[in-house]
Homo-oligomer: A and B are copies of this chain.
Amino acid sequence: MHRSEQGLLVVLSGPSGSGKDTVLGELGETVDDLELSVSLTSRERRPWEFDGTHYYFVTREYFEEKLRAGEILEHTQYVNGHYYGTPKGPVDEWLALGKTVILKIEVEGAARIRAIYPDCVSVFLLPPSLEALERRLFGRESENAADIARRTEIARREIARAGDYDYVILNDVLDCAVDDLRAVLRAERRRAARRIKLIEEVLKSC
């Protein structure tokens, strides 16, 4: 069997409410050798979130210990003091095993990952409109109107940077967005730069 020689690192960004978790949940069931990196955060778990699925919810002290130990690939600290970070170990292990690794990450973190892994592929998940985003955020009971106004403004600033990504996927119809992301992963694994060994094998075959 011909096999891709190295893993593929994919950075997925998109404003809160753009549907990243839903898209990744659907994708995970149909793509082989896929690993979703789960971030650490020191913020509190929201009612609809699961520890180990949406984030690893940890204490501030634990996060700072991991930071000092060099085990966090990139991290952010928001004005409210909460940390968000990507654990380094699993990402490098999965890539060495040839897997496709997806990091769900905000725009600043994505830029830092691109600097560390220039071969990574970056995807921005775009909501169909800011109204649609607000409607989805209102659906989450923990949010109040002031929070939502603040998040919409953050979303606007994030969307303004979508053009910095390699791909922009519109999440209007969920199935289409999932198919788009699946196509991006499949296509990127067929990049010529990943096929050098395969080409050599065929040339040697006669």
Contacts and interface: CB of A to CB of B under 8 A. Distances in A.
Q: Please classify the interface of chain A as helix (H, G, I), strand (E, B), loop, or mixed, using the class held by over half of its residues.
A: helix
Given A182-B183, A183-B186, A190-B184, A152 B206 contact: yes
Contacts of A198: 126, 168, 170
Contacts of A183: 182-184, 186-187, 190
B186 A2 contact: no
A8 interface: no
A203 interface: yes
Nearest to A123: B190
Contact of A187 (B2, B127, B184, B205): B184
A169 B167 CA distance: 21
Contacts of A169: 190
Contact of A156 (B127, B129, B184, B206): B206
Interface stretch (A44-52, A68-76, A111-119, A157-165): A157-165
B129 A205 contact: yes
Tallying the copies of this chain within the complex gives 2
A196 interface: yes
A24 interface: no
Nearest to A163: B192
Interface string A143-166: 000000000100010011011111
Contacts of A108: none
Given A126-B198, A129-B206, A183-B184, 14 more contacts: A2-B172, A127-B202, A128-B202, A134-B206, A162-B192, A162-B195, A163-B192, A163-B193, A164-B192, A167-B191, A168-B198, A183-B186, A183-B187, A186-B187
Interface of A: 2, 124, 126-131, 134, 152, 156, 159-160, 162-170, 172, 179-180, 182-184, 186-188, 190-193, 195-196, 198-199, 202-203, 205-206
7 contacts: A130-B202, A130-B205, A159-B202, A160-B199, A166-B191, A167-B187, A167-B191
